[in-house]
Structure 1
Amino acid sequence: MREVKRKIGSNESILMGGKAYTPSELSAMLLGYVKSYVNSYLGTDIHRAVISVPAYFNDTQRQETIAAGTAAGFSVERIINEPTAAALSYGLGHIDDESHILVYDLGGGTFDVTLLEMFAGVLEVKASSGDNQLGGKDFDQCLMDSLIQRFYDRYNIRLEKDPAALARVKEAAEQCKIALSSDDEYRVYLPFIAQKDGESLALDETVTCRDFENMIRPFIDRTHHPIDIVLSDSGVRPSEIDHILLVGGSTRIPLIHQDIESYLGKPPCSPVDPDFAVAQGAAIQAGILSGAISGDDSLMMTDVNPYTLGIRALHGFNDNYMSVIIPRNVTIPVTRQNRFFTSFDMQTETIIEVYQGDSPVATRNHFLGSFKLSHIPPGPAGDESIDVEFSYDLNGLLKVSAIISSTGASAGIDIDMTSMPHPEQREDVSGWKESREAGAYRTIIRRAEKALKRISSRKGFENLEQQLDQMIYELKKSLIHDDGQSDEYEDIIQDLLDLINDMQSTAVEDEK
């Protein structure tokens, strides 16, 4: 079921027992089982629930989680972020503390990192980030790939073509991963895994802890970027972190402890159980909502908006500029307003397009909705001003309004963020080199990747890093699908070159 968690919010079907299910349907089955088990254990019907989700789940994933809970027979009272729940589990016993807490949550399918501040019974989320495609499943896959390759090298047989053999290798890989958290090596022995020339073959391999750590090192390194984002957005230096809480079964791997201490200069602590802290925190939240926990024993929480919100606007000669109204990791509820001006003579109306995302190119972000503002008094460009206001509440409702300053005429839209489709997950673009046009653009891709590597660890370059990474991805995807012939292709090339040049200029000025 861990793999299903990654697929929530997608349109992908999962085949089980000859029948196709949506991720939400499978999640509902799991929650239904939990409900029936709890009802049986307590001897009463439990119909209200607090459900935890990864902090970096987008709004569609959260909505589908609520739908799964409803289908299982629950009234979902609250969706709580997993790192926040873990911090609640810790905070209930440390109500009088004043501290900064970094929660590093690496589970089976997702990774989250959240920075919280606790003071006077208040638990305030300062910033969140993460990677919904990173977790223990990837470590299992590394081990599986290694075992399958070793078997192929020895017998020239591909085990991945045999579903039964593959299932056995997967189970063995999970056991191996768990064992290597405490042992220096582990022997994987699977008899009768295949046949060759009438002889039964066994997979018999020893995996050392060093082997495993070398396999998963690239994935551990991927946790650094979300940590950097959280520290940058919160304005908290590593030296100001008081506690680093490890949550999720994958954090039992010794390499993770070593990496965190090396990267942040502070060892993680273990005041909470990594396997149960999130569930305990969700239970505490349920207790607060029901009134079972109140008064001096209670904690008050605040949360943040994890997504940048803005509108498409004219900036210089660029009519596809993402003008940010509410930056990511701002405490909610929040209301922000920006002033804009008419862009051409005799303009009498404008379309307000609302987007979610961090790209400076508006249409490369996720479109949320639009509305028309009419009856602008005609006049020279720039004569009339328009105030655009965003209000984001605790229930995920975004209200966008636009007011003509001179007349007071207005228009607006309400956007239920919990019903928005999520941005498309990235596809595998590793095959771009086999594209017919790859040779002609290999140099620019290498140049861009070198630029990305140069700024990956530099403070203040987080947004540029994200933009460059997205453009490299789009170029590779274009090479795979379009062989460089789509109309959009040349725009991607030019935008990429412009961004690299801008980055080089910025770097030079920064060095001065």
Structure 2
Amino acid sequence: MAVYGIDLGTTYSCIASIDDVGRPAVLRNLEGTDTTPSVVFFESEDNVVVGQTAKDTAVLEPENVVSLVKRDMGREVARDIQGIEYTPEELSAFILLKLVTDARTQSGEDARDVVVTVPAYFGAAERDATRKAGRIAGLNVIDIVSEPIAAAITYGVLNPEQDRTILVYDLGGGTFDTTVITLRGGHIEVICTDGDHELGGADWDARLVEYLAERFRAEHPDAGDPLDDRQSEQQLRRDAEDAKKSLTNRTAHTVRVMHDGRSATVEITRERLEELTRDLLDRTIEITGRTLETAKEKGVDEFDDLVLVGGSTKMPVVAARLSTELGLNPRLQDPDLAVAKGAALYAFEETYRRLLAAGEDDRAEEMAGRAGLSADQKAQIAGRRIRTVASHAFGIVVVDRDSGAEHVAHLVHANDELPAAHTEDFYTVHDEQTSADVRVMEQAGSVESAELVDNSEIATGQIRIPAGKQAGWPIGVTFELDASGLLNVAAVEKETGERLELKVDVGGMSEEEVERSRTALSRVKVS
């Protein structure tokens, strides 16, 4: 049985599987490239194009092209395309469909069972949205795994005999994570993680876009602003990305800005790019420093390797700054493909372990045989442990009985080991109270805070209280955060046993809406 790992990226995505010698291999798309732009073009309601063609079309038909979808995951937003509103889950489903369809064509095997990666700093809502995107695409999502863990799995396979403590610095197209991971005897343990899922290479591009537009306006003050024209803006974004990539290997790059019948030739140096984006890199250094402090509090203060993952780490200034700031020698770890390869390894290993646990030894042996695994490799996979931590704190809104002020009481804290479960009693505020609201909150800022404004509401429900109860009547609340970072919440009224179960639904999509979207999207041709 074939299983796949998918790196569902903000700007580029990738799919991989295990080859016949047990190594992870990326499956190229039908255009012949390892990575596929995470861009969706709606040629019509029934025909959707994903990838490089969609990206190229953004210049001509920007109103019909969607990009940077990943930044909307977990939010109640929709994009209106040709009079139809699409949720982030549905748009991500189109990208997933492109990847698995091309993989099926290339390998000749069904591509249905997948592991999808997410940034370590994604919360419960974003992870749930990613799982739903897979379901809408008709996939069986075996698990959701954090990108640094996937990268660490790849690293561990390439360095099988070494026990190491590594700092993974993952700067992708739209998100940034930094994670401390230990590899011991083949086992993987996440010590702590931090990040910002609205910081990535797209922000470097945006700075270049502003700079190019500014230089054009300075040369042609009587012409219109190219950023006010969608086609000119899209061309600038394409030129900016090309310039950034060129400056990885060159020290200067020239862009010809065209708008309103005018043109301006702008030379961009690597030094100028670094000046324009210094504060963005500073933010990643600050977050990395915060991660190191947290690791130190947990007893980890020495590192064997600083592993760079994500296409944006190719910028020379990244390695230079990290080396200077941290005193570690950064290693580029297959930055574009490591995450998909690690996800494929995880998908294979997790499926193998589940088959063994279910008593399906013959199917497990068939998988191992097809991958050419030795007895030692099979034993290592069967016994491998992967431990991770919560990326955010989670809690509920409580009311102070005396002042009536609301604050958040956290039951799970950032960097708690997963799976995590915590039960705590909370109490009614008023006499004769007939119900209690259960408002589930997730840390929204970079640090844990009890203030409502520093948290996001991700689920809500109400539980009944028996009649005639005085203030202070107890309600038991349990938070369970699984190893994938998906959250379940239960509240129990102890006299009647009434139970409120809350599963985090995001993007306004209920389970019924997910199924409707799956049926509707199955009629759309995706290429």
Aligned match of 1:366:
456
- C-alpha distance in 2 between matches for 1:207 and 1:388: 57
The partner residue of 2:226 within 142, 159, 163 is: 159
Going from structure 1 to structure 2, the CA distance change for 1:386 and 1:64 (only over 3 Å counts) comes to closer
Q: Report if the CA contact (8 A) 2:93-2:133 is conserved.
A: yes
**Which runs of structure 2 are paired with 1:331-410 in the superposition (5 Å)?**
331-338=417-424, 353-357=439-443, 358-362=448-452, 365-367=455-457, 368-372=459-463, 374=465, 388-394=477-483, 396-401=486-491
- C-alpha distance in 2 between matches for 1:412 and 1:226: 40
Q: Deviations over 1:69-124 (max 9, x none)?
A: 23333211111111111111111233443332221111111112222222122111
Q: CA deviation at 1:372?
A: 3.8
Q: CA deviation at 1:22?
A: 3.4
Q: Deviations over 1:380-408 (max 9, x none)?
A: x87x877654333346242434576xxx7
SS of 2:93's partner is helix
Aligned match of 1:307:
392
- C-alpha distance in 2 between matches for 1:370 and 1:69: 26
Aligned match of 2:516:
none
Q: CA deviation at 1:239?
A: 4.1
Query: Does 2:503 match 1:413?
Result: no
Going from structure 1 to structure 2, the CA distance change for 1:409 and 1:257 (only over 3 Å counts) comes to same
Which letter maps to 1:263? E
Aligned match of 1:325:
411
Q: Report if the CA contact (8 A) 1:314-1:321 is conserved.
A: yes
Which letter maps to 1:304? V
- C-alpha distance in 1 between matches for 2:323 and 2:181: 19
Which letter maps to 1:86? A
Q: Report if the CA contact (8 A) 2:192-2:389 is conserved.
A: yes
Which letter maps to 1:391? E
Q: Report if the CA contact (8 A) 2:148-2:179 is conserved.
A: yes
**Which runs of structure 2 are paired with 1:35-184 in the superposition (5 Å)?**
35-156=100-221, 157=223, 158-184=225-251
Which TM-score applies when normalising by structure 2?
0.69
Q: Deviations over 1:5-28 (max 9, x none)?
A: 212333444466786543333322
Q: Report if the CA contact (8 A) 1:101-1:245 is conserved.
A: yes
Query: Does 2:288 match 1:221?
Result: no
Which letter maps to 1:327? H
SS of 2:114's partner is strand
Q: Report if the CA contact (8 A) 2:169-2:178 is conserved.
A: yes
Give ranges in structure 2 of 5+ residues lacking alignment. Answer: 1-38, 40-66, 353-367, 369-376, 509-527
The partner residue of 1:3 within 57, 68, 82 is: 68
- C-alpha distance in 1 between matches for 2:173 and 2:229: 24
Aligned match of 1:241:
303
Deviates most, 300-309 or 15-24: 15-24
Q: Deviations over 1:297-324 (max 9, x none)?
A: 5642122222212233355746413222
SS of 1:165's partner is helix
- C-alpha distance in 1 between matches for 2:158 and 2:288: 26
Aligned match of 2:315:
253
Going from structure 1 to structure 2, the CA distance change for 1:237 and 1:208 (only over 3 Å counts) comes to farther
Q: CA deviation at 1:348?
A: 9.4
Q: CA deviation at 1:30?
A: 2.0
Q: Deviations over 1:194-215 (max 9, x none)?
A: 42xxxxx332111111110011
SS of 2:75's partner is coil
Q: Report if the CA contact (8 A) 2:115-2:144 is conserved.
A: yes
Query: Does 2:339 match 1:283?
Result: no
Going from structure 1 to structure 2, the CA distance change for 1:166 and 1:362 (only over 3 Å counts) comes to closer
Which letter maps to 2:127? R
Q: Report if the CA contact (8 A) 2:387-2:483 is conserved.
A: no
SS of 1:223's partner is helix
SS of 1:49's partner is strand
Deviates most, 149-158 or 299-308: 299-308
- C-alpha distance in 1 between matches for 2:131 and 2:399: 38
- C-alpha distance in 2 between matches for 1:264 and 1:219: 17
- C-alpha distance in 2 between matches for 1:83 and 1:350: 39
Going from structure 1 to structure 2, the CA distance change for 1:400 and 1:262 (only over 3 Å counts) comes to farther
Q: CA deviation at 1:375?
A: 5.4
The partner residue of 2:378 within 276, 294, 307 is: 294
Which letter maps to 2:460? G
The partner residue of 1:263 within 314, 321, 325 is: 325
- C-alpha distance in 1 between matches for 2:238 and 2:301: 41
Which letter maps to 1:189? R
Going from structure 1 to structure 2, the CA distance change for 1:41 and 1:162 (only over 3 Å counts) comes to same
Q: Report if the CA contact (8 A) 2:88-2:507 is conserved.
A: no
- C-alpha distance in 1 between matches for 2:94 and 2:435: 50
- The percent identity for this pair of structures is 29
The partner residue of 1:206 within 267, 278, 282 is: 267
Q: How many residues align?
A: 409
Which structure would you say has the larger Rg? 1
Q: Report if the CA contact (8 A) 1:349-1:376 is conserved.
A: no
SS of 2:331's partner is coil
- C-alpha distance in 2 between matches for 1:353 and 1:233: 29
